[in-house]
Amino acid sequence: MGKIHILEEQIANQIAAGEVVERPSSVVKELVENSIDAGSSKIDISIEEGGLQSIRVIDNGSGIDKEDCELAFLPHATSKILTSKDLFQIHSLGFRGEALPSIAAVSKMSCITSTQNTGLGYQIVNEGGILKTIGEVRASKGTDITVKELFYNTPARLKYVKTIQTELSHISDYIYRLALAYPKIRFTLTHNGKMLLQTLGNGDLLQVIAAIYGRTIAKSMVQVDCSNLDYSLRGYIAKPEMTRSNRSAISLIVNGRYIRNPFLNKAILNAYHTLLPIHRFPICVLHIQMNPTLLDVNVHPAKLEVRFSKEKELMMFVEQELRKLLQQQILIPAAKEPK
């Protein structure tokens, strides 16, 4: 008699959840990214107790069709890609179809969604990966997802969760990056009822920078706007006198996706070269656009890491363009100083 058997779906989802749902901020990330993919212009995020008690994300996006509601909670169910060819041209933040089933496997989740302005929609309640109820409810267009008691059924995972303050800082850090990546979306973030971020959604990146880093910093940023055949580079970089003690104020957004990349960080630091004091780092928000075929985003489950097919060229471009700008600042510092 053989000893191998295929695991039941619920336990398989719980295992997969370990990869996707590391901590409360992973849930927030996945839900808000789904809201962005759904074309929302307004996303409200409310968190209770660092996300351990509750995480709620309300958007005004496309909503989920009735017949898709149950499907959306199944592993590898996605509306975003169809064939393996699509993997090489990803236009959405999600594509793995893993988030909803993974989150549901380790929490108590409710999703209210509507694709129309009729005032009617559907609610689906799933606890620990088990469908509890599905039915018609009153709902406005968009999706309203609440995740309660995260890791209630995986005590081992709960042990790794840090203090409420630490979990909250992971959440707010990621929401700040998404707000910087999507200045056209109106974001609000509240924790235990206290408003932590509110953006206008008017497309003005500098306004988002002001909401996150303060008006003084925003006013002294230098605008970046350049392109070559492969890449366009837009955003703001701080003058060398506005520094931080670590790299965390460097936000890299590639094709709308916030990413971390040591090579791009290095290109930016090289551009500042000797202008920065030792152990000090710049504040910068850079949007890099490129043809999706030049980018592999399927490297890491959280998709925070990507691979560039022409890495060296991209680094050179970023370094040279930013250096040019910074040199202009040194030559004519007074001309650009705000009043």
Under the rule (CB under 5 A), what is the footprint of Mg ion?
34, 94, 99
| 121, 137 contact by CB (below 8 A) | yes
Residue nearest to ligand ADP (CB): 94
Q: Which is nearer to ligand ADP, 143 or 199 (CB)?
A: 143
Does the footprint of ligand ADP cover residue 95 (CB under 6 A)? yes
Q: Which is nearer to ligand ADP, 35 or 107 (CB)?
A: 35
> Closest distance between ligand ADP and the C-beta of residue 68, in Å?
6
| 143, 113 contact by CB (below 8 A) | yes
x-marked contacts with ligand ADP along 3-32 as a string, rule CB under 6 A: ---------------------------x--
Q: Which is nearer to ligand ADP, 34 or 261 (CB)?
A: 34
Contacting range for ligand ADP; rule: CB under 6 A; set: 33-41, 125-133, 162-170, 250-258? 33-41
DSSP string, 75-117: TT--SS--SGGGGGS--SS--SS-HHHHHHHTSEEEEEEESSS
The amino acid present at 13, given as its one-letter code, is N
Residue 52 backbone dihedrals phi, psi, to 5 degrees: -75, -35
Q: What gap in Å lies between CA 38 and CA 27, rounded to an integer?
A: 17
Does the footprint of ligand ADP cover residue 99 (CB under 6 A)? yes
Does the footprint of ligand ADP cover residue 238 (CB under 6 A)? no
Candidates 28, 38, 180, 264; binder of ligand ADP (CB under 6 A) is 38
Does the footprint of ligand ADP cover residue 129 (CB under 6 A)? no
Question: What is the sign of the dihedral through the CA atoms of 307, 313, 315 and 321?
Answer: negative
Q: What gap in Å lies between CA 269 and CA 266, rounded to an integer?
A: 5
265 contacts which partner out of ligand ADP, Mg ion, none, CB within 5 to 8 A by kind?
A: none
Q: How many residues bind ligand ADP (CB under 6 A)?
A: 22
b/e burial code for range 244-267 (CB count within 10 A of at least 16 → b): beeeebbbbbbbbbbbbbeebbeb
Does the footprint of ligand ADP cover residue 100 (CB under 6 A)? yes
> Closest distance between Mg ion and the C-beta of residue 34, in Å?
4
- The interaxial angle of helices 164-181 and 205-213, nearest 10 deg, is 160
Does the footprint of ligand ADP cover residue 79 (CB under 6 A)? yes
Question: What is the sign of the dihedral through the CA atoms of 217, 212, 180 and 201?
Answer: negative
Contacting positions for ligand ADP (CB under 6 A): 30, 34-35, 38, 59, 61-64, 72, 77-80, 94-100, 143
